[in-house]
Amino acid sequence: MSSSTVITNIAALVTNDPSLGDHSPLGLVRDAAVVIEGDRVVWTGESSKAPATDNRVDAEGRAVLPGFVDSHSHLLFAGDRTEEFNARMSGRPYSAGGIRTTVAATRAASDAELEASLTRYLAEALRQGTTTFETKSGYGLTTADESRALRVAARHTDEVTFLGAHIVAPELADDPAAYVDLVTGEMLDACAPHARWIDVFCEKGAFDGDQARAILTAGKAKGLHPRIHANQLSYGPGVQLAVELDAASADHCTHLTDPDVDALAGSRTVATLLPGAEFSTRAQWPDARRLIDAGATVALSTDCNPGSSFTSSVPFCIALAVRDMGMTPDEAVWSATAGGAAALRRDDVGRLVPGAYADLTLLDAPSHVHLAYRPGVPLVAGVWRRGVRKL
Ligand code: NIG
Ligand code: FE
């Protein structure tokens, strides 16, 4: 039998189980302990009631929460876009066109370079408390380049997304219909075995609603489940399409009509908000308050990519969401843990309950609220992933 460890003397434990502790959505337990056995949580509750274990870790009166679930990133890329960012901060607007720069660099990179780059950003994310991450292709845009990106990703996570429909490949810019045929045909056949999800950038300059529906429907027929980049740069059909297709998530949701908000609230499609993108493109913030008040489920993720959001830091996104998107600190922490899990249709991560994976973040702070209260401060003092201490 695997050995058991108790993490004790936790001042504030976020379980995301409302039946525990303060019975809020965070299920906040004071003076708490967590018991880990193998890769799972086997017990959570008040320290004084913790069962006997083989090993003991003293949290020294600090806070513990589920490892962050970053349900939206684009980490299969080479190069960076420093010049584009610099120009944007001097007034040039963001457009989807910059993606081509990264496509060229990614195609030119070797498999080893692509994997080394992915590994580096994953390590960076782990140091900031992320224990589950989704990542996407989308900077290859040929059958060979998209499928190799997914093969590399699948060596590091189960949450792999095929985003061949990021933009129309530059060599087919004059014939978008031919590119949609490629994505729904040969490219999908090569990519589907390596992915769980299919995504489309549904936006002016990328793919319209009809193209997105065709691509996602073809993906569903191959066993992939949809998620959509929706309503990021402008109002559009993405959110309604996400709900129509029972997508796990509609991502960005920056420009929403009242019917869009109502559709999300009446569905199980999660609204995944990505404030790193609005920060790095100086765009208007998504209105988390409006979505939550309407009853929608909200997730918070980094969107880490070299163009619109080059941050791997969930704590940074939490701070932005609290400062600028109307979220309370509790809501932002929930959205970055349980919300991310909902956006990946998972119940084995994002919560600290018996049976869930032992993915935990220990903060160098007495409360999870410090993630927003102390922005920019490296508060992550410990990370366990699948029961193994990584930091
Ligand atoms: O999620 N919106 C589309 N894709 C990315 C940006 C990609 C890029 O600029 O390289 C996003 O923001
Ligand atoms: Fe994205």
What does the domain layout of the chain look like in residue ranges? 4-67+350-389, 68-343
Q: Lowest-confidence range among 1-10, 204-213, 266-275?
A: 1-10
Ligand 1: atom nearest CA of 94 is 9
Q: pLDDT at position 95, please?
A: 85
Tell me whether domains 4-67+350-389 and 68-343 share a fold. no
Tell me the average pLDDT across 42-56.
96
**CA 10, 384, 193 angle in degrees (round to 5)?**
140
Nearest CA to ligand 1 atom 6: 308
- CATH number for the domain running over 68-343: 3.20.20.140
CB 63 within 8 A of CB 365: yes
Q: Is 368 annotated as a binding residue?
A: no
Cα angle 283, 96, 314 (rounded to 5 degrees) comes to 55
Give me the pLDDT at residue 1, please.
60
Find the mean pLDDT for residues 165-178: 98
Which pTM value belongs to this model? 0.98
Q: Report the alpha-carbon distance of residue 309 to residue 311 in Å, rounded.
A: 6
Angle between helix 143-154 and 99-108 (nearest 10): 80
Q: Of the ligands numbered here, which is closest to the C-alpha atom of 238?
A: 1
Q: Which residues surround ligand 2, an ion (CB under 5 A)?
A: 303
Of 200, 294, 196, 289, give the one whose Cα is nearest residue 239.
Answer: 200
User: Is the pLDDT assigned to residue 173 strictly greater than 80?
Assistant: yes
pLDDT surpasses 90 at 96: no
* Ligand 1, CB cutoff 6 Å, lining residues: 74, 98-99, 102, 201, 229, 232, 277, 303, 305-309
| For range 197-224, the mean pLDDT | 98
Q: Residues 218-273: pLDDT tens digits?
A: 999 999 999 999 999 999 999 999 999 999 999 999 999 999 999 999 999 999 99
CB 85 within 8 A of CB 37: no
Mean pLDDT over residues 320-346, rounded? 98
Please write the tens of the pLDDT for every residue from 161-170: 999 999 999 9
Ligand 2 center from residue 308 Cα (angstroms): 8
Pairing mode of beta strands 55-66, 4-14: parallel
pLDDT over 90 (residue 66): yes
Mean pLDDT computed over 137-149: 98
Mean pLDDT, range 81-94, rounded to an integer: 94
pLDDT on residue 97: 83
Specify the residue with its C-alpha closest to ligand 1, atom 7.
307
The residue whose CA is least distant from atom 11 of ligand 1 is 308
In CATH, what class is 4-67+350-389?
mainly beta
CA–CA dist 110, 292 (Å, integer): 43
Question: Over 70: is that where the pLDDT of 42 sits?
Answer: yes
Residue nearest to atom 12 of ligand 1 (CA): 308
